[in-house]
Amino acid sequence: MSSTDAADDRGTRPDPTGGCPVQRVAMISVHTSPLEQPGQGDAGGMNVYVLESARELGRRGIEVEIFTRRTTAAQPDLVEAAPGVRVRFVDAGPYEGLGKDDLPGQLCAFTAGVMRVLAGLPEGYFDLVHSHYWLSGQVAWLVADRWRLPIVHSMHTMARVKNAQLAADDSPEPPGREIGEEQVVRAASWLVANTASERRELIELYAADPDRVHVVSPGVDLATFTPGDRAAARAELGLGDDEDVLLFVGRIQPLKGPDVLVRAAARLRAARPDRRLVVAVLGAPSGSGLRHPTWLSDLVSELGLDEVVRLLPPVDRPTLAQWYRAADLLAVPSFSESFGLVAVEAAGCATPTVAARVGGLPTAVGDGGVLVDGHDPRVWAETLGALLDDPEARRELGERALRHAQDFGWDRTADQLLELYRTACRQGEQAPHDQPLAGVPTAVIP
């Protein structure tokens, strides 16, 4: 989080001296394992957040156990992910073939699996539960109520926000999710928002108690995402020094808007046929994009851009850092983003971002890029083309981006989470989930 965020926009600040000691944290991530490759399936920035924050907490001597759903028979019951960090795989429904929208029907089975594990541990083994995404919040609600634990919850995305900003032909989130999110907001001891704008959305759209919503921005691996030799990165990736390289990193679904970039690229090509343009798209079909997995490649062919657009699978983090270094610009044309971690990763590599002015992207981009209002490919083409033709402007933005990224180390995220955990433990006896949830249904509607 930027140091310029006003204290009164963050909610009541946790007391750094009066909190109780925290030794063990149970994290819950039902629908996606933190060990999955981001950029495919349901894996994305949340996976990175869960694993990296847990690793940093582990470095501080906090033991973290992450409960997630088993999706293949090959996954063991327990994996040591890092010193002090263990991932537990829980059986809940068929290993394969279940999408995120199918999981509300498996919450009972998942919760039962988590409770069986906890029943075999000494009373008071965990100090609190930190749940990620609304499905996990439903599980945390029951677990915390049984073992009298405080709940810290991170939404990551919200149905009412997404539904207000749908891409064309995208499907709205179901009413059952909105009901489930309302329940979690009321049950949580503390809510963690990625940005000040997300905090306001929780308060305005879900009637969250302002005193229990705390802003903790995600971090970035500043040891991996660093500036480097652009020419060497391009040589490694098979890119030419004289090519204009636009990069998209994310899951291939309408929400992320990769088609906006492809249509803008068609206009760039038409305006300057001599431009040696490369559009690299790193990701795999996900979410509503799975209904027609070839929708983006079909659009590329329809626009005659098969020699311009490279559709590539997700890559590991060192390779991703090379792509950021090689690119002239990162494009993030999302219709909704709770934060936009890829913008900060690119900033760590001194690569500027052109992003949609939505959600948390203004915070993630800072002054290290350009924000675009709306998703009109004509406007995106004009913005991208102007920057591609102005290397000095890109250089200045890249320098600003690099400075901006230094405020987002995972160590800072972990410090703020730990401060919040201590306060949540100290105030555990007053946790909202100890009180009746007046007016809220007691079951999730799938």
Beta partners for residue 63, in sequence order = 24
**Binding-site residues from annotation for 1D-myo-inositol 3-phosphate:** 31, 42-47, 100, 133, 157, 177
Q: Which of 365, 57, 44, 324 is nearest to 197 (CA)?
A: 365
The rounded distance, in Å, linking the Cα atoms of 45 and 225 is: 15
Question: Going by DSSP bridges, is the β-strand pair 309-312/329-332 parallel, antiparallel, or unpaired?
Answer: unpaired
Q: Enter the tokens of residue 7.
A: 């204290």
Q: pLDDT at position 20, please?
A: 66
Q: pLDDT at position 6, please?
A: 37
**Binding-site residues from annotation for Mg(2+):** 324-325, 327, 351
Q: Which of 153, 149, 194 is nearest to 24 (CA)?
A: 149
**Binding-site residues from annotation:** 31, 37-38, 42-47, 100, 133, 157, 177, 251, 256, 315, 324-325, 327, 337, 345, 351
Q: Which of 97, 92, 133 is nearest to 110 (CA)?
A: 92
Burial class for 375, CB neighbours closer than 10 Å (0-12, 13-18, 19+): buried
Beta partners for residue 280, in sequence order = 247, 310
pLDDT tens digits for the chain (446 residues)?
A: 333 343 334 444 444 434 568 999 999 999 888 888 766 666 678 889 999 999 999 999 999 999 999 988 889 999 999 999 999 999 998 888 777 788 888 999 999 999 999 999 998 999 999 999 999 999 999 999 999 999 999 999 999 999 998 887 788 989 999 999 999 999 999 999 999 999 999 999 999 999 999 999 999 999 999 999 999 999 999 999 999 999 999 989 999 999 999 999 999 999 999 999 999 999 988 655 456 789 999 999 999 999 999 999 999 999 999 999 999 999 999 999 989 999 999 999 999 999 999 999 999 999 999 999 999 999 999 999 999 999 999 999 999 999 999 999 999 999 999 999 999 988 864 445 544 333 333 333 23
Residue with tokens 């945390």: 140
Q: pLDDT at position 386, please?
A: 98
Burial class for 224, CB neighbours closer than 10 Å (0-12, 13-18, 19+): middle
Q: Enter the tokens of residue 55.
A: 């690793």
Let me know: does 426 contact 220? Beta carbons within 8 Å.
Answer: no
Q: pLDDT at position 58, please?
A: 96
CB contact set of 119 (below 8 Å; sequence gap of 6+): none
Helix (H, G, I), strand (E, B) or coil at 282: strand
Q: Which residues of 96-115 are buried (b: 16+ CB within 10 A; e: fewer)?
A: eebebbebbebbeebbebbe
Q: pLDDT at position 41, please?
A: 61
- pTM over cut 0.85: yes
**Binding-site residues from annotation for UDP-N-acetyl-alpha-D-glucosamine:** 37-38, 45, 251, 256, 315, 337, 345
Q: pLDDT at position 17, please?
A: 39
Q: pLDDT at position 305, please?
A: 98
Instruction: Output the CA angle 203-405-378, nearest 5 degrees.
Output: 75
Let me know: does 407 contact 2? Beta carbons within 8 Å.
Answer: yes
Alpha helices in 73-209 (DSSP H): 107-119, 134-147, 159-163, 175-187, 196-206
Beta partners for residue 78, in sequence order = 88
Burial class for 366, CB neighbours closer than 10 Å (0-12, 13-18, 19+): buried
Q: Which of 32, 49, 29, 50 is nearest to 41 (CA)?
A: 32
Residue 259: its H or E element? helix 258-271
Let me know: does 216 contact 418? Beta carbons within 8 Å.
Answer: no
Beta partners for residue 192, in sequence order = 154, 214
Residue with tokens 């919503």: 213
Alpha carbon 254 to its chain centroid, in Å, reads 16
Residue with tokens 């926009």: 9
Domains and CATH numbers, the chain: 7-219+410-434 (3.40.50.2000), 230-407 (3.40.50.2000)
Q: How many CA atoms lie within 13 A of 110 on its CB side?
A: 29
The rounded distance, in Å, linking the Cα atoms of 389 and 272 is: 11
Q: pLDDT at position 428, please?
A: 64
Please tell me what DSSP assigns to residue 60: T
